[in-house]
Structure 1
């Protein structure tokens, strides 16, 4: 999985639907399921089982990465999900860099049927440290990569996601969000027009 997708997936574990905010790392079962779906990209055992301590550390890392994303999109507004509750910038930067160093990963050359790039982690690290290192590394690569200038927050109603603007005319993270935003805009214009008619003396 490319660093861009892994980083966006990680910050996107905070999302929203009609009922409100959803946290895909809200408990150990939810985190276990989320990690297992990405076990290979995260360099962890496919049978990974989250502990409460690992979950809390991973959530702490996620909030640090979200703080860096918020800084990256400035002066545009950050995600509405948690903008007022994010940790400080310097603290977040230190935490992400520390997570990368806790289980260093380096490129390795494999040759099954020809040259192939793989990533190897420090062998002494446990799954939880490797997991956080992989997530932090993906965030660092994304934040220093070519896609960063196109990072945006989706401004559609109820959406709290970050996305990469892949097309010049793209305004929202998905077609569904675009439809919702257009419907909301149409509703506001209709109400404004209706209000103007009701107050008109003619």
Structure 2
């Protein structure tokens, strides 16, 4: 399954499997674990596998996530946003400004490589020495790429009970982020139908 940095950041708020919501960025240690888990997606930007978050970086990640989830909520509209933060979303203008400001913190310069007997290739090199700045800037640029790309139209908020994830639809009829959410949603529907049938039978007797 394809992974996107923006979606991975948004998904640090998730269902805890026990009826509640957990936050992977609650502590600096949790933020460190999350950063290191994204090493493959961050390759070429920062040595994520070696990074350790302090409290300042954790707060930066949480604030960037707030902007990302607000923009995700706009992307899925008029469908409802994730229930995790639907009542406390960052205003869209503020979210856009924050995203663009963080992305601009890292100066990148284009470089072209052209080996003998091969086609030329282009890459971006960072002029920023601080890996923490490169990290949040890379996450911001990844969000800009994600929301300006074709996957935005396939972004959905999972409608399964208690789930708070956003996901990208992989096929036309997909309603939930993963099979377990589909099972939970179908079970909830069955339970509601049973209740309606039972209540209706009691009323008519």
* TM-score normalised by structure 2 residue count: 0.89
Cα deviation, 1:137-171, whole Å, max 9, x if unaligned, reads 11100100011111110000010011111211111
List gaps (5 residues or longer) in structure 1. none
Count of matched residue pairs: 200
Residue segments in structure 2 that go unaligned for 5+ positions in a row: none
Q: Is the aligned partner of 1:92 residue 2:95? A: yes
1:1-202 aligned within 5 A: 5-17=4-16, 18-42=18-42, 43-45=45-47, 46-105=49-108, 108=111, 120-201=124-205
Check whether the contact 1:28–1:51 (CA below 8 A) recurs between aligned residues. yes
Task: Check the 8 A contact 1:97/1:136 in 2, yes or no.
Answer: yes
Checking the alignment, whether the CA contact within 8 Å between 1:16 and 1:22 is kept in structure 2 is yes
- Kept after mapping to 2: 8 A contact 1:157/1:180: yes
Superimposed CA distance per residue, residues 81-133 of structure 1 (whole angstroms, 9 cap, x where no aligned partner): 01111211111101100111101446655679x66967544232411111111
33-42 vs 185-194, greater mean Cα deviation = 33-42
8 Å Cα contact 1:8-1:162 kept in structure 2:
yes
Calculate the TM-score normalised by the size of structure 1.
0.90
Counterparts of 1:106 and 1:151 in 2: how far apart (Å)?
Answer: 31
C-alpha RMSD over aligned residues: 2.3
User: Is the Cα contact below 8 Å between 2:112 and 2:122 reproduced in 1?
Assistant: yes
Do the aligned residues in 2 keep the contact of 1:107 with 1:117 (CA within 8 Å)? Answer: no
Judged with a 3 Å threshold, the aligned counterparts in structure 2 of structure 1 residues 107 and 173 are, in CA distance, closer, same or farther, namely farther
